[in-house]
Chain A
Amino acid sequence: MTTPLLESQFSLDDFMAAEQRKDLLRFSTAGSVDDGKSTLIGRLLYDTRSVYEDQVRSIEGKGTTAPGQLDFALLTDGLRAEREQGITIDVAYRYFSTSRRKFIIADTPGHEQYTRNMATGSSTADATIVLIDARKGVLPQSRRHAYIASLLGVRHLLVAVNKMDLVDYSRERFLAIQSDFTTLLDQIAADTGNPVQPHFLPVSALLGDNVVHRSASMPWYTGPSLIELLESLPASRHDAAAPLRFAVQRVLRPDASFRGFAGQVASGSIRPGDPITALPSGRTARVARIATFDGDLDLAHAPLSVTLVLDREIDISRGDLLVSTSSPATITTDLEASLVWMDAHDLVPGRRYLLKHSSHIVPAAVTALDHRVLLENDSHHQTLDHIPAATLSLNQIGVASLRLLRPIAVDRYRDHRLTGSFILIDPATNSTVAAGIVRSAQPIPASLAAHLATAHSGPVSARERFLRWGHRGAILSLTGPTSIADRVERALFHDGRVTLRLSAPESASAAVPDAAHETAASTLAAHAASAGLLVLLHTETDSDSLTVSVANHSLTIAQEDSLTRRLETLLTDAGLLHRPGQNEYEI
């Protein structure tokens, strides 16, 4: 095959040098079924010559457009079910490149029931394109898209007012939509705390106006085309002066002479000689080497994946966060977070979920739901109103308090996207049930943090205790008379369980809740449980039976009941007893 490029004086070196200057911009798209989103993406790929001839041939003469017109939507609707139903089901990723930039598109469906996919696409995006049908104006789904983009911390919102050809390219129509949407964005920023920068464009995806090429039909619009805007937006630049965040993924120990901590720089930068603090232990050291396959580095910055060697032996393992000593993250067991619920089973407050944050997993429970954000209109409320909620269902978003069984080091999402985000996993189904966005974290009191630092650096791990004692650590809530609680403690001891009895903090019914005692008791309980002990957290009542509950299992014991068998069943059901082949992360 001969090609013009091979015949001409193609210089690979020049080409490669230009390629090396290209950066990467990730953007997501959102739109409703008929907004023409797939058409817009197809048009973008076609007009930047990013689709191959065989792919174009495969859609010629198909689809729903007029004869001779390509149905660009067919370039992106990938799955059989989608082609059969004419809709987009799931997040699809597309790639294209211009002479300035490489682009990754997360193309997400706009149906109401697919909020979770929009959140997924937005989670890594620098920019989001929101499509608005010029004939319909700002609809509830446009509000929803803008809200999710803002919640997920997308910085630039490209508002493409589409189908301008169907409103006679009306400038008045465009300006009216722009005005409506600007008001909306102010409301959204007030709710999420994440302002987004809007950019408005009048387009016709079908005819190509202002997608790649400027439109001749709208001389009143003098701004950039969509692709020009995408090429000029600031990409996810990494601020070298930002505080270091480096989650340890793996300890590399090929021989006795090398011990390195492998991970990716999530934020900031680091040089040999810099001091770091390992969280949650609080131990400090200096960086001795930044090791890579291609030789040691003088500087590593986000988002490089490297291996750090420290100047002294401190106890660090997978899941620890290495941070700038001068600007550490918050160590906490209590979070307030926005949750995007992504599972068909509703949120169960109080139930144990697994929280995955950076490179570790911690058991956690939702202790309270502050509100739900209404994503659709109903007869009494507006879209984005806050309403009280007892649970969250699939595709709902709310603000919740979470309590973690072990302390982790976090940041607010608005400050650090990667150390301020988490997912919740259902330990029974293993489904990813929620995406979490940290709004605030209550720091563990300094005295306890110091205590944890020493306790955590001890040589005996919870896993070793688990293997010796045959049970994991957990908090068992005992509610009932002291006499039965005493029998429970005695029965567990008799069976060789290692327990610690604590009296539960004063309940909310007390006139003045003792906040300090509550935090101290719950932190101590969480810590002992994470070390491998069964903590018996007793709330005394004068009823004639006692309820023992752990995670989402419970047991009621009357005065004369025999205990051993029933306690064993409870511990088994709650997954606390050793059985072969268990996953070590479920501590």
Chain B
Amino acid sequence: MTTVTTDSHAPSAALPSQADTLQLSHLRQLEAESIHILREVASEFERPVMLYSIGKDSAVMLRLAQKAFYPAPIPFPLLHIDTGFKFREMLDFRDRMARQVGAELLVWRNEPAIAAGANPIALDTKRCCGLLKTQALLDGLRHYNFDAAFGGARRDEEKSRAKERIYSFRDNAGQWDPKNQRPELWNLYNARIHPGESIRVFPLSNWTEMDVWQYIHLENIPVVDLYFARERPMYVRGDALLPTEQSFVALPGETPQMVRCRLRSLGCSPCTGAIRSDAATIPDIIAELISFRSSERANRVIDHDQEGSMELKKREGYF
């Protein structure tokens, strides 16, 4: 996000001398807070799981989990909800990362819906997400009997997420009730649930998109190559760049063009547009981010199909 300089002559209160205080940078403070959350959940729940979506936020969350339990292995499995519309590169990357960190990887798909041909064009995006993401997630969590699920969502992403707790209570249908959330004070989290209920946990709640990229850079964390600008074949429709994945339905006479572009956030290929960009490295991405004037989910069709669309999805059980 943008920075601003102010000409400050504020009469500041007396600062303690450097010698008797120890100040951590904001990134190390965020890291310490996230590790605390990961450890609490692993210790208080019987069957936690980490939702691994392959994106940059998941990459950071996975590294934090390695740090939280080092030198012991990560004490919970990773779960990927595969809609069948993920980019091939993402799936390869997912399998490689799971092997690298030595974590158990589970994949769950809503096979009946996929077999019935669910896709965003035939169904509209709302119903498609409902079946392939939300329903698959709820089924997957129930199948394995998970009582806590980590997600990489951040409060700065979207308005309704700004009101999300770190421990987000879900009833036995997996639903979020924004008017009836448990108060969350200090670093004391209430992990108690009845059978069938669950908690979604967001260890990156207080991170921003900029924090995530800076941390990836500082920590040298691998991310999917789709985040970096390359010459890629794209269908160009007005300002939109649509990836030429196997699922794409071209208009009559439409042919892909080579465009230097990248993905700012990774979703399903039919619903995730690319942006024109020259940012081929993480430093380039950070520099680009400083100059950005639109939010990272602006290229996600699914957040914009209705006022309060994310909130409605979350109430139904979406992350």
Contacts and interface: CB of A to CB of B under 8 A. Distances in A.
A250 B10 contact: no
Contacts of B182: 431-432
B67 interface: yes
Interface in B30-58: 30-33, 35-36, 39-40, 42-44
A78 B21 contact: no
Contact of B70 (A97, A124, A307): A307
Interface residues of A, number: 110
8 contacts: A81-B178, A95-B155, A228-B9, A234-B16, A239-B20, A318-B43, A421-B186, A421-B188
Interface residues of B, number: 93
B186 A305 contact: no
Contacts of A47: 4
Given A250-B39, A432-B183, A262 B69 contact: yes
Contacts of B10: 223-224, 228-229, 231-232
B248 to A, nearest CB: 23
B291 A6 contact: yes
Interface in B10-32: 10-13, 15-16, 20-32
Interface string A234-262: 11011111000000011011100010101
B247 interface: no
B291 A99 contact: no
Interface string A1-14: 11111100010100
A20 B4 contact: no
A356 B4 contact: no
Nearest to B13: A234
Contacts of B162: 76, 78, 92-94
A343 to B, nearest CB: 9
Contact of A585 (B11, B44, B67, B283): B44
B73 interface: yes
A16 interface: yes
Contacts of A427: 192
B2 A50 contact: yes
Nearest to B190: A432
Given A93-B205, A98-B6, A356-B188, A304 B28 contact: yes
B308 interface: yes
Interface stretch (B88-96, B105-113, B292-300): B292-300
B206 interface: yes
Nearest to A21: B25
B292 to A, nearest CB: 7
Given A6-B284, A81-B178, A98-B6, 14 more contacts: A4-B291, A5-B287, A6-B279, A48-B2, A49-B1, A49-B4, A52-B295, A80-B308, A83-B308, A97-B3, A228-B8, A228-B9, A262-B68, A342-B183
Interface stretch (B79-87, B124-132, B135-143, B270-278): B270-278
A467 interface: no
A354 B163 contact: no
Contacts of B13: 197, 232-234
Interface string B151-177: 000011001101100000000000000
Given A12-B283, A231-B8, A262-B69, A79 B311 contact: yes
Contacts of B32: 264, 303-305
A16 B190 contact: no
